[in-house]
Amino acid sequence: MYMLSDKDIPVEKSEPLVYLFVLCHNSKKWLKKCLDTLLNTDYTRYKVHIIDNNSSDDSVEFIKDNYPSVSIIQNKRNLGWCKGNNVGIEISRNIADYTLFLNSDTSFEKTDWLKELVEFAECNHEYGIYGCVQYDYNSSDFLNINTWTKYILTNGNRDIFYSWNKKISNVVKNKPAYLESVLSRRKHIDCYFVQGAAMMVKNELLNEIGGFDPLYFIFQDEVDFSRRARYKGYKTALVCNSRIKHVGSGDNSSTKKNMKRRNFYYTRNKYIFLLTDVSRNWDEILEISQQFFRNDLRDALKTKQDVSSVFQLVSILFSILIKSPSIFKKRMLEKRMKQTF
């Protein structure tokens, strides 16, 4: 399929313009399936950009050779998920109507997935963030719903701390027929956050609250973004007719080193999110952080995947201490943001 360039997009067309940004870092093994299916969408007014975070696996050369219509933005170093996508926001915010952030370990075999997102957004103006139903990447059909989607279908708009304290309901976890019946009955489901692997945002919202907070680098950043959107009165939705496939963690789980990095940021950043939650007083924050620490220490002692070792847990706590000035500055900014709405 021929991709539209900016000058090819007719101004008179009524469809909203969507800018899609695929963030990559040594993601060559995912790119063919991602781009082949992404460029086959039946929505017409969109433009695909690759944001490359200084890959060393010939990802950029592969795209240039095989997808000449796709724009490539090359960062000189790995900026992480937040700063990397913020580069895209600066390009999109004053041009497009919606900005869509994608991970490279996704595929889009249902060609109406983008059309469904835009149609929902255009008919439901109180929403500012939109997500797709995600299925396991390697399944030959659309039956095995991934963990994040199961969480939303089971718990809806429930506070994210419910999940982080390991109280997530598993009642319907292994009943795909039931989950599919929930999807078939609903156009959308209100949710606490949309997973950043496939997250569409109204540009009006981006202009109000800005981009992703670099304090996180990667993980929990989309949860933070959704919280700030709520401060401005925007809702977040899982759009039930938009279906994609997603590996989950992708290159962040491809090696032992990458897995350790994933565990570090995933665990550290939930504490940052908690410490900057201005809807909670300090007694509540202390109680929840103690529960976090008990769970994380238990996992560290068992050398579980969540925290690989006691040493890593100590390094996480030290990192939080080092970043405490930035954390408390962010808390004060969010307090003012919440008060002004």
Please say if the pLDDT value at position 310 is more than 80.
yes
Could you tell me which residues come within 8 angstroms of residue 32 by beta carbon, excluding any fewer than 6 positions away?
Answer: 62, 66
Predicted pLDDT at 253? 52
Please say if the pLDDT value at position 161 is more than 90.
no
Task: Return the beta strands (E) in the chain as ranges.
Answer: 18-24, 46-53, 71-75, 98-103, 106-107, 127-136, 188-190, 198-202, 235-246
Predicted pLDDT at 254? 52
pLDDT 10s digits, 69-104? 999 999 999 999 999 999 999 999 999 999 999 999
Q: For residues 164 and 265, which has the higher predicted lDDT (pLDDT)? A: 265
Q: For residues 124 and 252, which has the higher predicted lDDT (pLDDT)? A: 124
Could you tell me which residues come within 8 angstroms of residue 88 by beta carbon, excluding any fewer than 6 positions away?
Answer: 19, 21, 23, 49, 51, 73, 99, 101
Predicted pLDDT at 220? 92
- Residue 157 vs residues 21, 41, 237, 307: alpha-carbon distances, Å: 26, 29, 9, 27
Could you tell me if 246 and 131 are in contact, meaning their C-beta atoms sit under 8 angstroms apart?
Answer: no
Predicted pLDDT at 140? 76
Among all chains, which residue has been given the structure tokens 């238990």?
298
Q: Within 13 Å and on the Cβ side, how many CA atoms surround 118?
A: 22
- As a whole number of angstroms, the distance between CA 90 and CA 79 comes to 15
Predicted pLDDT at 3? 46
Instruction: Quote the crossing angle between the two packed helices 256-275 and 221-231, to the nearest 10°.
Output: 20
- Residue 221 vs residues 22, 114, 131, 150, 294: alpha-carbon distances, Å: 16, 23, 15, 20, 23
Predicted pLDDT at 100? 98
Question: Which of 16-25, 110-119, 146-155, 194-203 shows the lowest mean pLDDT across its residues?
Answer: 146-155
Please say if the pLDDT value at position 314 is more than 60.
yes
Please say if the pLDDT value at position 39 is more than 60.
yes
Each residue of 80-107: b (16+ CB within 10 Å) or e?
Answer: bbbbbbbbbbebbbeebbbbbbbbbbbb
Question: Which of 13-22, 149-158, 245-254, 315-324 shows the lowest mean pLDDT across its residues?
Answer: 245-254
- As a whole number of angstroms, the distance between CA 4 and CA 47 comes to 6
One-letter amino acid for residue 73 of the chain: I
Enumerate long-range contacts of 71-75, CB under 8 Å, 24 or more apart: 71/47, 73/49, 75/51
Predicted pLDDT at 158? 76
Q: What is the mean pLDDT of residues 177-194?
A: 86
- As a whole number of angstroms, the distance between CA 93 and CA 64 comes to 25
Q: For residues 252 and 76, which has the higher predicted lDDT (pLDDT)? A: 76
Please say if the pLDDT value at position 171 is more than 60.
no
Predicted pLDDT at 304? 53
Q: What is the mean pLDDT of residues 41-69?
A: 95
One-letter amino acid for residue 191 of the chain: C
- Residue 102 vs residues 23, 35, 54, 144, 168: alpha-carbon distances, Å: 6, 11, 17, 20, 26
**Is the pTM here over 0.85, yes or no?**
yes
By C-alpha distance, which of 134, 340, 328 is closest to 228? 340
